[in-house]
Structure 1
């Protein structure tokens, strides 16, 4: 298989990933994120400096319920239902909201300020749902409404905190995928090939790319790139290992830069690089810069990298914002 997705479970880890044209382009542990989980939780205290409630959700860290995500003022030690809308980073806490959402791979329902669902007949369709039939979306909506009803029944029960709902991240990750999906566990999803012996660590293209994932220097063929990930931005420096004496300096620079585009896209995807990106390509003339940017746009589209290319700076660095 040249292109496929995989699911691998080992103890508490649930690893998913994607191989595209024999290169690993995505790899993550779905159990690390609590994003989208819905909890019945108890208030611990109010933090005046943040205008936020501190809530115990029963996980490794507490959560913050800020005023903009609240429905109304809450009583001390009261229970409330919240959704995790942001995973914590470093020493921070989970960000929570009482205006929770329920979603499938095809549509999203959101509760309003009165804790009721928005108009269910005009639910927000996700990209994957825009081409689905009305009957399909109606059945999908009925499933979400049933989940909503069950959640509301839990509102005044005990104990708290308690996890009430976890989105089906595997289904969201695999739905409508056009190639094969392999897994070492049996799952109730179509098109998944069950292979109990599958282990990504023993697949050459996966293990090789995983070994490069956290390295500063990545070498592929005649091209090498150096990646420095800082807090506010990421810098990538493009270099070459072998000089082609048959090419002029300008043509050689263009050739190396074009070869580096695919590797840059793969590393962006694997490392989950966001925000400001600065790329130091080999120096080229204005015409070749324009050609390079056009090719980069195609590569970013191929690897589904959301971006805004700002252009070359006065110092010759290509500036990009990644989302």
Structure 2
């Protein structure tokens, strides 16, 4: 049975002049949301003719100028990163040659972007090129032949390997998950297109000066059509006539049986509202997630890692504690992988499951968690359940999370999530008046602060002003300020 065949998928693509959003539902639950804006189009998968700008022997890495605002970062052993999506074991031996013997400043090199630009980092690149098609991944300059590990049926794997042996060379190939059950003719057509693409890239290399973009990966709409849409797609809704035609033409070329699933949305109500997607997207930006039986998840993202806390909530009342905890943990094990996909969370993820005493429960929890993670196209590595219920996993990250894509740091808290309380600000004012009086010799100060702070200094904390006046001979004239920030204030010496 093809991978994912028991799951029914619906895809919704909303296309505006400056933004494309694609939502994916599995069994009527939102599991993925992809957003691409015109000025922030993904560069993952792009091929560049670059020029080495620096070689760092101590890090065994190099920086490559590819014409972007920051140089790309290239590790010496950056092998086949684009293959990780397909979970394929590479058998090729990694080069052991030091990077200073491989690259030199000024040298031209072909690289492929494997991770987006970060706020303070350049993109990550690989010099091992892979071109993904509908059913195959083509690896120019390699002889590697493989089958996605998501295809688990041994007879099917053997059949596919036999078909791969009949494909024209040169170049290595990997059968993608979507290739399960496909014919030799399907593979030949896919490979012919990929080989022609590679030949075009080679021609551009010969005629283009570095640094330069040689090949752009498909835009979001067609990437989803290629990578997400499989035989289990029930419907593929598109709300723009031009985009609708592009998807139809794409499927006509690569998989005609999916053309009938593509539907043009024409109602006046925005499509994401009509299908209830906007509400689900809003929930995906909240750190709190409710579980069916009353428990909950709290998801916190930091620069270093993602922490997910599992709470029992109201479910625990009046029931056997161990069974209650086990049940809530199982619900969390099913929901967390969905949230990782939906929020596009990557890197290190630490899950604080509720601690359980029964080792059989721990093993069952881990197995359930592993089963749900298998639905994810991104590669995940799962560790064991720790003694305190902690489970660590890693999820391949190639682009920004949904949270970073759709939000910006709060101008009040600067992304910290907390600001100083009115009491703290009032006490800061008190101390600063004393300091400035000593420094400037002023005896009268005008203070402009948030109305809540002014109210506090005239009410519960009025003794602070009395102390300044009676104990130090200082007078403070309070008034509400124009700055809406609750923690900002002005202190103006008057005399």
The answer as to 2:281 corresponding to 1:210 is yes
Secondary structure (helix, strand or coil) at the match of 1:131 reads: coil
Partner of 2:458: none
Matches of 1:216 and 1:46, distance apart in 2:
41
Q: TM-score normalized by structure 2?
A: 0.55
Name the structure 1 match of 2:372.
299
Task: Kindly report the root-mean-square deviation, in angstroms, between the aligned alpha carbons of the 2 structures.
Answer: 3.4
Distance, in Å, in 2 between the alignment partners of 1:226 and 1:297 is 20
Say whether the 8 Å CA contact 1:22–1:205 is kept in structure 2: no
1:243, CA displacement in angstroms? 4.2
Instruction: Provide closer, same or farther for how the CA distance between residues 262 and 38 of structure 1 changes in structure 2, counting only shifts above 3 A.
Output: same
1:228 positional shift: 2.2
Judge conservation of contact 1:56–1:161 (CA < 8 Å) in 2.
yes
Aligned to 2:62: 52
Structure 2 distance, partners of 1:67, 1:243, is 52
Determine which structure has the larger strand proportion and give its number: 1
Of 108, 127, 149, the match for 2:137:
108
Answering whether residue 186 of structure 2 is matched by residue 136 of structure 1, we say: yes
Q: List per-residue Cα deviations over 1:267-321 (Å, max 9, x = no partner).
A: 1221233334222326453343333333333333355675444333222x13132
Check the 8 A contact 1:101/1:111 in 2, yes or no.
yes
Q: Is the 8 A contact 1:257 1:292 kept in 2?
A: yes
Native 8 Å contact 1:257 1:282 kept in 2? no
CA shift in 2, pair 1:208/1:156, >3 Å: same
**Kept after mapping to 2: 8 A contact 1:273/1:322:** no
Which deviates further from its counterpart, 182-191 or 301-310? 301-310
Aligned to 1:313: 386
Query: Hey, what's the Cα distance between the residues in 2 that align with 1:278 and 1:239?
Result: 11
Partner of 1:281: 354
CA gap 1:68/1:304 in 2 versus in 1, 3 angstroms: closer
- Distance apart, 1:26 and its partner CA: 0.7
Q: Label 1:94 to 1:26 Cα distance change in 2 as closer, same or farther (>3 A).
A: same
Extract unaligned runs of 5+ from structure 2: 1-7, 79-98, 143-167, 252-257, 396-495
Report the alpha carbon displacement of residue 18 of structure 1 after superposing the two structures with TM: 0.9
Structure 1 residues 46 and 149: alpha-carbon distance in aligned structure 2, compared to 1, 3 A threshold: same
Which residue does the alignment assign to 2:343?
Answer: 271
Which residue number in structure 1 is paired with residue 198 of structure 2? 148
- 1:16-95 equivalences under 5 Å are 16-30=22-36, 32-41=41-50, 43=51, 45-47=53-55, 52-57=62-67, 59-64=68-73, 73=103, 76=106, 81-95=110-124
> In the TM superposition, what is the alpha-carbon distance from 1:241 to its structure 2 partner?
3.3
Q: Report deviation, 1:73.
A: 5.0
SS at match of 1:120: coil
Give unmatched runs, 5+ long, in structure 1: none
User: Quick check: which has more Rg, 1 or 2?
Assistant: 2
SS in 2 for 1:124: strand
Check conservation: 2:134, 2:190, Cα contact below 8 A.
no
For residues 258 and 98 of structure 1, what CA distance do their matches in structure 2 show? 42
- Local SS of the residue matching 1:298: helix
State whether residues 239 and 282 of structure 1, in contact with CA within 8 Å, keep that contact through their aligned partners in structure 2.
no
> How far apart, CA to CA, are the structure 1 residues paired with 2:238 and 2:360?
47
CA–CA separation in structure 1 for the residues paired with 2:43 and 2:230: 24
Name the structure, 1 or 2, with higher relative contact order (CA <8 Å, separation 6+).
1
Contact 1:4 1:20 in 2 (8 A): yes
Q: From the two aligned structures, give the one with the greater helix fraction.
A: 2
User: Using the alignment, how far apart are the partners of 1:153 and 1:22 within structure 2?
Assistant: 46
Instruction: State how 1:5-24 maps to structure 2 within 5 Å.
Output: 5-24=11-30
Q: Which moved more, 1:245-254 or 1:21-30?
A: 245-254
**C-alpha spacing 1:271/1:284, structure 2 compared with 1 (3 Å):** farther
